[in-house]
Structure 1
Amino acid sequence: MEKVQVLMSTYNGEAFLEEQIQSILQQSYSEVSILIRDDGSKDNTVSVINRIIERNPGKIVLIKGENLGVVQSFFELLQFSDDTASYYCFCDQDDVWMLDKIERAVHALRSCSATGMFFTSTMLVDHDLNEIKVWPSPHERETSFYNSLVQNIAVGATMVMNKAARDLLISKTPNTDNLLMHDWWVYTCISAFGEVIYDSKPTMYYRQHGNNVVGGNTTAIHKWQKKWESFRKHSGDKLLKRQAIEFANHYGSQLEAEKLNQLQLFIQSRRSLKQRLNYLHKSKLYRQSWTENQLFKFLVLIDYI
């Protein structure tokens, strides 16, 4: 049976950590190991992990690190991942995996001829795992590199990738200060060179609580309020373009011609309104919904992106 390694980053996660790890150890797919990197926790997270390791010898390895932040922590996990595994899963510290999560992913990825990544929606749940709704909603358009440059639709904790994908990611060392999130970077890289498989059926219970790094349990009004607040906070930062430039610096020379052309069009300077209108005419980039796509075009026109 092909080996699967789960890559988990922890930080002050003692409250829900044991429940998450147990849901991994109880997976229907049995050839699973866990590599945990603790990102400098100040609570009892490391003690909880060590107790679980004692009860499950040979299944879990712990790396105790300094506080680097979630993005850099996951990149370190990739660098230290098991070179003999066939598949790799990202994992958060406070969710619960459905029992067939890994089995479904492995089954889907076996059809990939080369570089491949699998991801799904999630079942949002409250603090006590009571179901709220499926999130995010099914995508309106296909996954692609042209989508990934301006929108992340892949929830990191649902991601499973094959070894070719992992090798692609560790072949370069990006400046994580220029990345929006590790899962966004992964979506961009794999969609550029391989196959991204999406399944709208959830594979995990995504717990919503006060300490979530991100969350999907918001009303439509609150969602747009958050977008506007983010717009005001980051106006002038051009975060999407910074991430795209970082990608171009590392992988641009490996892209096929049309993808490279679209990447270069996106990152070039557009000082005049005429240049921005011309860009929109040539661009193949898109966000998933019609509304989000109009927002993208508007932000280009006002030179926010």
Structure 2
Amino acid sequence: MTVSNQPFAVDPAVQVAGERTANVAILMCTYNGASFLAEQLESLERQTHRNWTLYVSDDGSQDATLDILRSFRERWGSERLQVANGPKRGFVANFLSLICRADIDADFFAWSDQDDIWKADKLQRALAWQQSIPSHTPALYCGRTELIGESGATFGFSPRFSLPPRFSNALVQNIGGGNTMVFNRTARALMLEAGDRVAVPCHDWWAYLLVSGAGGIVHYDPEPMVLYRQHDENLIGGNSGWVARFKRFPLIFQGRFCEWNDQIIPALEAMNHRLSPGHQVTLAQFKTARNQTLFLRISGFLRAGIYRQTLSGNLGLVLVALLKKI
């Protein structure tokens, strides 16, 4: 790896007019990520949008993660890379702690995993859409990913979704991984108000729920901008193909979806004052239907209008509704 001591310089030639001044806070959580961390950091360095700062929250790494971060901080400068200790309560709490840090401020925010690779125009493409949205409107960009193995070889893509990204979809599905998400200050304010102690299954699903529920705008980009590294333990994130769906099937019978909704619903109710009136009704219908008898349960879900993005997903939704596992 070639190390340069030269500071970053903003190159106006690669910036779209009006975007170069937008500051992005990239929020990365690390934990024993030495194997692939340098590749991800180098992909951040190649971003065509250059006005960003990387904030890292490390959850107690015991490998060379901190050494790698230290090396890149010396290479980039402390104004470009800041590292802090994480809360050591799991990855969700770590990401939420970052988004709720009062000392981090920016025009836009982007979550980052420690082992992916970003395409060079990932931030620029996200900001091109973001800056078409009024700043007072919560706005969330997310998208499809290209799947790579531990060797870096591509072996597929995450599903391409085409139905509208709405609250009634968010209640039963997260369409965008946090590693693809870029959101504005107004969306961040919702997460900040909810706090870093909110009990939710995933930080990215929570973002989709909050922004869509509050009447914000969610944009799903079908063009993959992130090379998403899959490991043997990937289960929730690695959702490409029937094999991955089969692996997740036992979760239905284990009641995992019920547990997730048992967390999501109270978290949303605590933010009910931020939900639009129509979405308040949808949440109440969804909550009530979960505990009804079969006929009332199905009719309640229909009134709530919940849906997933694919035919197989909706068939699975019917199954969990029938089994009262939702």
Q: Same fold (TM over 0.5)?
A: yes
Identify the range of structure 1 (78-87 vs 183-192) with the bigger mean alpha-carbon deviation. 78-87
CA gap of 1:248–1:205, structure 2 versus 1, over 3 A, is: same
1:162 aligns with 2:184: yes
Query: How far does residue 230 in structure 1 lie from its aligned partner after superposition?
Result: 1.0
Give CA-to-partner distance per residue, 1:59-110, whole Å, 9 cap, x none: 1000023422110000111012655410110000001110000000111100
Equivalent residue, structure 2, for 1:21: 41
Alignment of 1:190-201 (within 5 A): 190-193=211-214, 194-201=216-223
The structure 2 residue matched to 1:2, chosen from 17, 22, 31, is: 22
Letter of the 1:105 partner, please give it: A
Q: Which runs of 5+ in 1 are unaligned?
A: none
Letter of the 2:150 partner, please give it: H
SS of residue matched to 1:201: strand
1:229 aligns with 2:250: yes
SS of residue matched to 1:33: strand
Equivalent residue, structure 2, for 1:65: 86
Letter of the 1:299 partner, please give it: V
CA gap of 1:207–1:280, structure 2 versus 1, over 3 A, is: closer
1:287 aligns with 2:308: yes
Give CA-to-partner distance per residue, 1:40-62, whole Å, 9 cap, x none: 11212111111111111121000
SS of residue matched to 1:203: strand
CA gap of 1:59–1:81, structure 2 versus 1, over 3 A, is: farther
Aligned length: 301
Q: Which runs of 5+ in 2 are unaligned?
A: 1-20
Identify the range of structure 1 (205-214 vs 166-175) with the bigger mean alpha-carbon deviation. 205-214
CA gap of 1:199–1:206, structure 2 versus 1, over 3 A, is: same
Query: How far does residue 212 in structure 1 lie from its aligned partner after superposition?
Result: 4.5
Distance (whole Å) between structure 2 residues aligned to residue 240 and residue 120 of structure 1: 23
8 Å CA contact 1:129, 1:207 repeated in 2: yes
Letter of the 1:280 partner, please give it: F
Equivalent residue, structure 1, for 2:126: 105
1:209 aligns with 2:265: no
Equivalent residue, structure 2, for 1:298: 319
SS of residue matched to 2:152: coil
The structure 1 residue matched to 2:173, chosen from 151, 170, 176, is: 151
Alignment of 1:103-182 (within 5 A): 103-113=124-134, 114-135=137-158, 137-173=159-195, 175-177=197-199, 179-182=200-203
SS of residue matched to 2:218: strand
Give CA-to-partner distance per residue, 1:125-153, whole Å, 9 cap, x none: 12232222221x22131101110011111
Equivalent residue, structure 2, for 1:255: 275
Distance (whole Å) between structure 1 residues aligned to residue 319 and residue 231 of structure 2: 33
Distance (whole Å) between structure 1 residues aligned to residue 267 and residue 297 of structure 2: 22
Give CA-to-partner distance per residue, 1:258-287, whole Å, 9 cap, x none: 211110011125342232133134221111
CA gap of 1:90–1:16, structure 2 versus 1, over 3 A, is: same
Identify the range of structure 1 (222-231 vs 235-244) with the bigger mean alpha-carbon deviation. 235-244
Identify the range of structure 1 (116-125 vs 267-276) with the bigger mean alpha-carbon deviation. 267-276
Q: Give me the TM-score of the superposition, normalised by structure 2.
A: 0.86
Aligned-residue RMSD, C-alpha: 2.0
Identify the range of structure 1 (187-196 vs 125-134) with the bigger mean alpha-carbon deviation. 125-134
Give CA-to-partner distance per residue, 1:168-194, whole Å, 9 cap, x none: 1101226444x1211000010111121
8 Å CA contact 1:105, 1:118 repeated in 2: yes
8 Å CA contact 1:71, 1:176 repeated in 2: no
Query: How far does residue 4 in structure 1 lie from its aligned partner after superposition?
Result: 0.7
8 Å CA contact 1:149, 1:188 repeated in 2: yes
Distance (whole Å) between structure 1 residues aligned to residue 86 and residue 276 of structure 2: 38
Distance (whole Å) between structure 1 residues aligned to residue 65 and residue 89 of structure 2: 16
Identity over aligned residues, as a percent? 29
The structure 1 residue matched to 2:65, chosen from 45, 48, 53, is: 45
1:267 aligns with 2:268: no
SS of residue matched to 2:224: coil
CA gap of 1:140–1:106, structure 2 versus 1, over 3 A, is: closer
Distance (whole Å) between structure 1 residues aligned to residue 29 and residue 218 of structure 2: 23
1:95 aligns with 2:116: yes
Distance (whole Å) between structure 2 residues aligned to residue 199 and residue 235 of structure 1: 28
